[in-house]
């Protein structure tokens, strides 16, 4: 093998290693199951997280997408971003995390004012 071929293979291996290490963080979806949702302590319905990015809430269904890796939010919570399409939660965005008590929680923002006001805790 010539020195130029070895140099080419070495450079190719380095480029592949750099690309592989710079891959974006994998999004993590919330665990499947039923979540009781509340607004100011009042029941807002049961959110069911299904497999493959699907959900149901109040008799309607849609899709959700977890985005990117975990993020530290200004309130100090490390969570994953989530957004919903279709169904009764369509257009809502928020975050999900595991609380210090070990409960999986999805916190959603009101699409009108951006205030986080809906909290869904896994049963």
- pTM strictly above 0.85: no
pLDDT digit string, tens, across residues 55-86: 999 999 999 999 889 999 999 999 999 999 99
- Compute the distance between CA of residue 84 and CA of residue 37 in angstroms, rounded to an integer: 15
- Residue 25 contacts by C-beta under 8 Å, 6 or more apart in sequence? 68, 69, 70
pLDDT digit string, tens, across residues 9-64: 454 444 444 434 444 456 799 999 999 999 989 999 999 999 999 999 999 999 99
Average pLDDT of the segment spanning 91-108: 96
């Amino acid at each position: 093998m010539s020195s130029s071929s070895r140099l080419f293979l070495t450079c190719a291996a380095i480029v592949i290693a750099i690309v592989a290490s710079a891959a974006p963080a994998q999004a993590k979806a919330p665990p499947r199951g039923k979540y009781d949702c509340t607004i100011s302590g009042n029941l807002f319905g049961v959110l069911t997280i299904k497999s493959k990015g699907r959900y149901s809430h109040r008799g309607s269904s849609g899709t959700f997408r977890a985005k990117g890796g975990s993020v530290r939010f200004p309130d100090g919570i490390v969570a994953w971003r989530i957004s919903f399409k279709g169904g009764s939660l369509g257009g809502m965005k928020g975050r999900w995390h595991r609380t210090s008590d070990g409960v999986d929680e999805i916190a959603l923002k009101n699409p009108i004012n951006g205030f986080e006001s809906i909290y869904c805790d896994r049963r």
